């Protein structure tokens, strides 16, 4: 009679005596690997937290931990400036040479051939016509914005590039009307830190003043904005240079003004608007302006001529002397237009009647 040892009822002993199938063994090995990986990951996270606690938070973490109201005040301190027509020259102001930042014309370079500075810094393949045997540096205007696209032709100076190439590819501001850089917007780098800061700071930035000395500049500015930026635009100032528009606005300028005010209708967040009194000389422009909706304030300004502010040029520190002396116009058509822009309750025939009597 054969005697056999029965299986023990204890599961641990039974499992040690019975080998498991290969599939079960592979599954258990895979699960063990996953558990080991999770334990290693948890250990690394704990080490990172300890390291971060020792090193302390970085600048972004500190800004992010501030209350939203305080962050907005910081952005406003960095990005918000007064209207550029009210700015003063800084103590460190360096006037740009030759009354404009671009290179001198070819005739000027030719007449001053003996000037080594003119030959070295104010010449390029377009405005310098002598031999190019020796290397010469191409003039780079200090007025060129660092946010502007890189020039596609490195052999042209800034003035020739803007006039001959960039202006034919799209709208671009001229470099010939800046005497210094005191009115340039500062600290725009903060908008490039990350998307979170951009979303917050851009609302503050677009709520500041944007001033233009001509309708085409404003039109090109609005054409380049996205729908979101147009909705955030808060304050716009449009003044006309009395010398440039001394004989009145031409057909091209009037069309540009009509298009400007049509584009401003898409700017639903406008709080303040300043316009030059000269734009009220055309009926189509006035009818287009009355449809612009503004929340708080509308001002119609008159810019004095050069003879009216002649004495201020000797001691006034304003960057734009004549524009800084502008005065507000009230009464008649101006009041009707202001009421239409603020409340939207004035019909077109009423505006035409006041325009005919003005």
pLDDT in tens, 161-212: 776 676 666 666 666 667 788 888 889 999 988 888 999 999 999 999 999 9
Give 330-352 pLDDT, tens digit per residue: 888 888 899 889 988 778 888 88
For residue 318, give the nearest of 217, 183, 176, 143 by alpha carbon.
183
Residues of the chain short of pLDDT 70, as ranges, are 1-18, 50-57, 97-139, 163-164, 166-177, 311-315
Label residues 130-143 b or e (16+ Cβ within 10 Å = b): eeeeeeeebbebeb
**Cβ–Cβ under 8 Å, residues 261 and 226:** no
In this structure, what token pair is assigned to residue 207? 């709520």
What confidence score (pLDDT) does residue 71 get? 92
pLDDT at 176: 67
Exposure on the CB side of residue 220, measured as CA atoms within 13 A = 14
pLDDT of residue 5: 56
CB atoms under 10 Å from CB of 109, counted, come to: 19
Nearest Cα residue to 268 out of 297, 232, 237, 236: 232
Nearest to 237 by CA among 258, 262, 264, 202: 264
pLDDT of residue 121: 47
- CB-based contact 237:264 (threshold 8 Å): no
What's the rounded Cα separation, in Å, for the pair 222 and 231? 11
Vertex 37, ends 33 and 43: CA angle to 5°? Answer: 145
- For 344, residues 6+ apart whose C-beta sits below 8 A from its C-beta are 293
């Amino acid at each position: 009679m054969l005697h056999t040892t029965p299986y023990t009822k204890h599961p641990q002993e039974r499992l040690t005596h019975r080998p498991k199938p290969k599939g079960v063994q592979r599954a258990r090995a895979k699960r063990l690997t996953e558990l080991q990986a999770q334990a290693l990951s948890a250990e690394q996270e704990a080490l990172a937290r300890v390291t971060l606690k020792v090193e302390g938070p970085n600048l972004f973490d500190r800004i992010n931990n501030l209350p939203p109201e305080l962050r907005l005040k910081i952005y406003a301190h960095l990005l918000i400036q007064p209207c550029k027509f009210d700015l003063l020259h800084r103590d460190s102001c360096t006037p740009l040479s030759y009354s404009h930042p671009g290179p001198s014309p070819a005739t000027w370079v030719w007449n001053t051939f003996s000037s080594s500075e003119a030959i070295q810094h104010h010449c390029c393949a377009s405005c310098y016509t002598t031999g190019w045997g020796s290397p010469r540096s191409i003039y780079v205007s200090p007025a060129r914005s660092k946010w502007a696209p890189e020039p596609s032709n490195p052999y042209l100076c800034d003035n020739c590039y803007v006039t001959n190439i960039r202006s034919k590819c799209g709208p671009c501001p001229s470099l010939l009307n800046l005497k210094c850089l005191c009115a340039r917007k500062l600290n725009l780098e903060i908008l490039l830190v990350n998307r979170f800061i951009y979303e917050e700071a851009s609302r503050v930035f677009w709520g500041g003043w944007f001033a233009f000395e001509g309708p085409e500049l404003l039109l090109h500015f609005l054409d380049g904005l996205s729908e979101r930026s147009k909705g955030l635009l808060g304050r716009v100032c449009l003044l006309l240079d009395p010398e440039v528009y001394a004989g009145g606005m031409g057909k091209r300028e009037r069309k540009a003004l009509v298009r400007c005010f049509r584009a401003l209708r898409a700017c639903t967040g406008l709080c303040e608007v300043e316009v030059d009194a000269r734009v009220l000389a055309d009926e189509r422009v006035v009818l287009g302006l009355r449809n612009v909706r503004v929340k708080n304030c509308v001002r119609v300004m008159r810019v004095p001529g050069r003879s009216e502010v002649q004495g201020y040029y000797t001691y006034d520190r304003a960057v734009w002397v004549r524009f800084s002396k502008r005065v507000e116009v009230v009464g008649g058509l101006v009041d009707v237009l202001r009421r239409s822009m603020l409340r939207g309750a004035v019909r077109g025939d009423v505006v035409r009647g006041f325009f005919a009597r003005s």
